Copies of this chain bind each other. A is one copy, B any other.
């Protein structure tokens, strides 16, 4: 049975957490033995032990040698959640490129403990099967594909992506899709299709610094909308802002956005879509983390809720499978023609063989097993990282609790300077992303983002703990 439902241990872990949450299992209480629980739930001893170990890693259970597992006094989420950001009435001209380039230079330095870059590392992704598909395509069909393909990209890859989109309830036509150089190019094409220099774009706050950088390079302004670490963008504030500001588009990542990891409820998504449609503001959706969910099913993207009537959908394989392949896609609905013309004008088309390899990989069915594996790893990584943060950062540190993706957002008391921590951490061989790069108005200086995109090991664990200690030293120095 275990071989058919390999994630039974996660189900058991969830069950235990819910029993703790609703009080059925009180702090200090001893859990049933591994053998007992395995018999009761018809699972193997190994699976039961794995669930207990996971909760131990998360600090939810405590293992006492020769005795068993106990509910920890300190529960999951011992640290509070970060606060939602406050509203700003004015759009900001973006000037962040220097900070972004500086950060990325450090983030790609393999000598540093890699907490800085929101990209899964290659060892964790294990893309061997995809690489062999590329090798085969190059060897057998290289000459056939040594041509400019249509700007929309390889037809078979678009079909395979469309097939997958059916699963989250959106009947996407391959003809409506265009293959891009990652989600970055997809969002760039969308922005150039709907906005012109000087226009204002509504964004989450905090938001991905790469988006801010793109806005800056396109001469667009950012209107930062308060965003909750759990529920996403504040629709009421956005509604007020739309009444008074002229906004050319809204760029959102509703599913495990970067850096908060927040997920909007479906009702909120629908309310947001209605609001934007009422103001005729197109929504550019970045769903690059949507496949990395920890719950039972994939959260729906906006496009599945409005059928693409007002949504330009952008995604890629960069966060889940192949950052090096640079393959993303865009479905632009009413703007499809404009997006196609811009792709043609700016880069003609994307390289064909990596697209062919991805089409073969998707058609083989291997992607689902792959996604199950990386989702489990990312969930465990975040649990371990949270545990390490709880054990090392100052007690008033707040930390996000995402249900997907692989980054955490930490908030320290006002006045804490994550830039000073950044400099200190670099000295000690640790990289992370300081909070101010996630805001056009350079807020969030007391915050930071940690990425858990690498396989968990002692180096990472010690890096997080060392960072927490450094944060404590700095906070004490400032007498916070």
Chain A residues proximal to chain B, CB less than 8 Å: 97, 100-101, 104, 108, 117, 119, 121-123, 125-128, 130-132, 134-136, 138-139, 142-150, 180-182, 184-185, 188, 192, 196-197, 210, 213-214, 216-219, 318, 322-327, 340-342, 344-354, 357
Minimum CB–CB distance for A464 against chain B, Å: 22
- Contact assessment for B131 and A216 in the assembled complex, using a CB-CB cutoff below 8 Å: no
Q: In whole angstroms, what is the CA distance A315 to B351 when docked? A: 16
Given contacts A134-B134, A143-B128, A181-B348, contact A149 B324 (CB under 8 A): yes
Per assembly, the copies of the chain total 2
- Contact assessment for A214 and B354 in the assembled complex, using a CB-CB cutoff below 8 Å: no
Given contacts A101-B341, A122-B143, A342-B217, contact A353 B350 (CB under 8 A): no
Minimum CB–CB distance for A121 against chain B, Å: 7
The residue of chain B having its C-beta at the shortest distance from the C-beta of A121 within the complex is: B147
Among A214, A327, A348, A352, which residue has the most Cβ atoms of chain B within 10 A? A348
Which residues from chain B contact A97 at a C-beta distance below 8 Å? 341, 344-345
- Contact assessment for A326 and B351 in the assembled complex, using a CB-CB cutoff below 8 Å: yes
- Contact assessment for B322 and A349 in the assembled complex, using a CB-CB cutoff below 8 Å: no
- Contact assessment for A147 and B213 in the assembled complex, using a CB-CB cutoff below 8 Å: no
- Contact assessment for A127 and B108 in the assembled complex, using a CB-CB cutoff below 8 Å: no
Which residues from chain B contact A185 at a C-beta distance below 8 Å? 346-348
Given contacts A139-B135, A146-B325, A323-B146, contact A184 B130 (CB under 8 A): no
Which residues from chain B contact A325 at a C-beta distance below 8 Å? 146, 351, 353
Minimum CB–CB distance for A188 against chain B, Å: 5
- Contact assessment for A346 and B142 in the assembled complex, using a CB-CB cutoff below 8 Å: no
Q: In whole angstroms, what is the CA distance A329 to B351 when docked? A: 15
The residue of chain B having its C-beta at the shortest distance from the C-beta of A133 within the complex is: B138
- Contact assessment for A351 and B348 in the assembled complex, using a CB-CB cutoff below 8 Å: no
Which residues from chain B contact A219 at a C-beta distance below 8 Å? 196-197
- Contact assessment for A131 and B127 in the assembled complex, using a CB-CB cutoff below 8 Å: no
- Contact assessment for A350 and B136 in the assembled complex, using a CB-CB cutoff below 8 Å: no
- Contact assessment for B322 and A146 in the assembled complex, using a CB-CB cutoff below 8 Å: yes
Q: In whole angstroms, what is the CA distance A101 to B348 when docked? A: 11
Which residues from chain B contact A117 at a C-beta distance below 8 Å? 148
Given contacts A142-B127, A142-B131, contact A148 B214 (CB under 8 A): no
Q: List 26 A-B contacts (CB under 8 A).
A: A101-B341, A122-B145, A125-B143, A125-B146, A127-B143, A131-B146, A134-B134, A134-B135, A135-B139, A146-B322, A148-B323, A148-B324, A181-B350, A181-B351, A184-B345, A184-B348, A197-B197, A210-B348, A213-B341, A213-B344, A214-B345, A218-B345, A325-B351, A326-B347, A326-B348, A353-B354
Minimum CB–CB distance for A93 against chain B, Å: 14
A128-B142, A134-B134, A134-B142 provided; 13 other pairs, C-beta below 8 A? A108-B147, A130-B142, A145-B324, A146-B323, A146-B325, A149-B324, A181-B181, A181-B350, A182-B348, A185-B346, A197-B197, A213-B345, A325-B351
Which residues from chain B contact A197 at a C-beta distance below 8 Å? 196-197, 219
The residue of chain B having its C-beta at the shortest distance from the C-beta of A217 within the complex is: B345
- Contact assessment for B134 and A146 in the assembled complex, using a CB-CB cutoff below 8 Å: no
Q: In whole angstroms, what is the CA distance A196 to B97 when docked? A: 18
Q: Which of B104, B188, B345 contacts A347 (CB 8 A)?
A: B188
- Contact assessment for A344 and B130 in the assembled complex, using a CB-CB cutoff below 8 Å: no
Q: In whole angstroms, what is the CA distance A354 to B356 when docked? A: 13
Which residues from chain B contact A347 at a C-beta distance below 8 Å? 180-182, 184-185, 188, 326, 347
Q: In whole angstroms, what is the CA distance A323 to B353 when docked? A: 11
The residue of chain B having its C-beta at the shortest distance from the C-beta of A214 within the complex is: B345
Which residues from chain B contact A126 at a C-beta distance below 8 Å? 143
The residue of chain B having its C-beta at the shortest distance from the C-beta of A134 within the complex is: B138
- Contact assessment for B131 and A324 in the assembled complex, using a CB-CB cutoff below 8 Å: no
The residue of chain B having its C-beta at the shortest distance from the C-beta of A324 within the complex is: B146
Which residues from chain B contact A108 at a C-beta distance below 8 Å? 147-148, 150
Which residues from chain B contact A119 at a C-beta distance below 8 Å? 147-148
Q: In whole angstroms, what is the CA distance A352 to B132 when docked? A: 15
Which residues from chain B contact A213 at a C-beta distance below 8 Å? 341, 344-345
Which residues from chain B contact A353 at a C-beta distance below 8 Å? 131, 134, 324-325, 354
Which residues from chain B contact A121 at a C-beta distance below 8 Å? 147
Given contacts A138-B131, A196-B219, A351-B351, contact A188 B143 (CB under 8 A): no
Q: In whole angstroms, what is the CA distance A101 to B152 when docked? A: 12
Among A134, A145, A216, which residue has the most Cβ atoms of chain B within 10 A? A134
The residue of chain B having its C-beta at the shortest distance from the C-beta of A188 within the complex is: B346
